[in-house]
Amino acid sequence: MQLTNEDLLKLHRDMILVRLFESRISEVFKTGAVPGFIHLGVGQEACMAGVSHVTKDGDAMGATHREHGVLLCRGSDPNKVMAEIYGKSTGYCKGKGGSMHVCDMKRGSLGNNAILGPGQSIINGYAFAFKMRKNDNIAITIFGDGAANRGDFHEGMNLAALWNLPTIYVLFDNGYALSMPKDKQQTVKNLSVRAAGYGIPGVTADGNDILAVIDAMSEAARRARAGEGPSFIELKTYRWQGHFEGDPRINQPKEEVAEQMKNNDPIKRFEKTLFDKGILDEAKKEAVWAGMKAIVDKAQKFAEESPAPDIKEIYTDVYFDEGRAM
């Protein structure tokens, strides 16, 4: 995919917005202002921004509970995303989805299935619909290295291959499933080799290099839109936070985290590329960070000032059996 200077600058803005947005959620969660469990993808911004960049209107993307950023990168309103995480009525799901289930259906951002793994089967329904309609839309499912061990993942990829569906399986390989290090979960270094068992392409790329992410995703998207079937993309990345906010992180060494934050920060790596190309300078960089911070400040204020859902709305917009509701 050919990227213009404006494309590169947008990717930079997207990554910073995601970083600041999720970091702010971490801060406010500690105050008790945000309900429920919170799972963050701080450190995985290149994956979120890069994967989103290859999508277009009409495409479907299902992520995990760790990818609030894909909504932001696909154009969802930060105010409404933040309000949903706060559980407020002005959120995309009127406060009923929260952090784990926030979605923007108008943009094809499907949110998360609560049991990680089934999303890799569910996504094929969208891909099958696109194929039957004979359009060139694609369906993308994002999951982690732990979910890649579930039967749903294998069943879903087998079906996508068998029916030649425009599905892209995208693994954000951050090295841990909950608190379980990858080398204690799997015997292979690169999980993309599993694609060979289904006769589809499998690619491993540096998930902290946004240009490498886009290169891998662009070819997979081209294949899917051209009717050439599914692909499996593994993006090697690292999450700076625990599995959830408050996670004691027993098996994630502090030294390892510090090393990743210092030497493998996807934003700093991309900023160096932009500086080297002469597209970015220190003043412009500071202006972008300040501008994205203002967006996050506004979103937090909007969420805090928004009303909570009315108790009378408890059964609206959801399926329930009226006969058993009492």
pLDDT of residue 245 exceeding 80: yes
**Count of CB atoms situated within 10 Å of the CB of 62:** 24
CATH class of 5-313: alpha beta
87, two tokens: 């559980």
DSSP 203-226: EEEETT-HHHHHHHHHHHHHHHHT
For helices 5-29 and 282-305, angle between their N-to-C axes, nearest 10 degrees: 40
Q: Model confidence over 258-277: pLDDT tens digits?
A: 999 999 999 999 999 999 99
pLDDT confidence tier of residue 240, bands split at 50, 70 and 90: very high
Element (H, E) at 193: none
Which pTM value belongs to this model?
0.94
249, two tokens: 């992180």
Map out the domains of the chain as residue ranges.
5-313
The DSSP call for residue 310 is P
**Which pLDDT score is estimated for 316?**
87
pLDDT confidence tier of residue 323, bands split at 50, 70 and 90: low
